[in-house]
Amino acid sequence: MLPVIQPDPGPPPFERIAIVGFGLVGGSIALAVRQGWRGGLIIAIDRKDVLEAAMRVHAADVAGDDLVMASGADLIILAAPVRQNIALLGRLAEYVPGPALVTDVGSTKADMVEAAAGLPERLRFIGGHPLAGAAAGGFDAARPDLFRGRPWILTPDRPDDDGQWAVGDGPSAMGSLERLERFVTALGATPVTMGADEHDRLLAWLSHLPQLTASALMHVVGERAGAAGLALAGRGLRDTTRLASSPAGIWQDIAATNTEQLSAALGDLVDALERLRADLSEGSELKRIFESAARWKANLESAGFKDTG
């Protein structure tokens, strides 16, 4: 790897960080915080069997399976599957008496932001979504550099609040969004701000549609070609279906919380496939779609993610 010049993280933007859900993303946040600065206290909340592995490598300072452990945190990160995060959000107020910034790392944002409208004023919610992943899930796959060089989308529902939610005050106080941006920057990511609806629409195209397509393709090809046929497959099918190992559970959550945008995306793809299908002999639609695809593919490969900070 090329050496990476790390920006000075400065003083930790949060002092007591509660992470609810200690899987790939939650665990990687903890490991990245550990690597980034020493001062912060990490509170891990998950099932006890999950936390054992995390505590063995000292990924957290304190750990437990009760939401009450988040009561003293100044940053609460919900890192469970989307619908579980929504349920957790509803219970947070009874456990957390003081002011705190609450964020999440889920793949859809609009339903979460809507649920956050019910929070008391002392709990300020800003949705988050690190665009980083790995082939495997769970804490065992967690690593401190998971977010390095990747975008981390933040979806504040209103303009920043000029420090009124800062724990502590004086000249060093800063707005919640600015603090959260500093936090994800310290984890190696680049914060990108957009609205929750814009996020869900964009991710339907960039992530949710490709996932559903890869799984649907692998399903029909497997059923029709069978094991003997698959033995002859080459790299083309393998790459196109790389995502097809993804577990159903988290994708049921994502699909259920982004039905409208994802339905529109699926509809557009089905239209394109039907246009191809109606014109296989002539091939003029194939030519049009392939030439457009090749242009966008060149765009995708050349652009990559540039630092937008």
Binding to its own copies (CB under 8 A): which residues in 171-200? 192
Near its own copies by CB under 8 A: residue from 98, 138, 283, 309:
283
Q: State how beta strands 100-104 and 41-45 pair.
A: unpaired
User: Residue 252 is encoded by which pair of tokens?
Assistant: 């049921």
- Binders in 119-178 for its own copies, by CB under 8 A: 131-133, 150-151, 153
Element containing residue 224 per DSSP (H, E): helix 209-230
Q: Which is nearer to its own copies, 34 or 150 (CB)?
A: 150
Site string for its own copies, 54-93 (x = CB under 8 A): ----------------------------------------
Q: Which is nearer to its own copies, 8 or 301 (CB)?
A: 301
**CA nearest neighbour of 82 among 196, 180, 217:** 196
- Binders in 228-257 for its own copies, by CB under 8 A: 229-248, 251-252, 255-256
Please tell me the count of residues contacting its own copies according to CB under 8 A: 92
Report the amino acid identity of residue 200. D
Stretch binding its own copies (CB under 8 A), from 70-78, 92-100, 118-126, 295-303: 295-303
- Binders in 17-46 for its own copies, by CB under 8 A: none
- The CA–CA distances, whole Å, from 26 to 21, 46, 191, 210, 252 equal 6, 10, 17, 24, 20
Stretch binding its own copies (CB under 8 A), from 8-16, 41-49, 176-184, 284-292: 284-292
Stretch binding its own copies (CB under 8 A), from 1-9, 39-47, 86-94, 201-209: 201-209
CA 223 vs. chain centroid, Å, equals 32
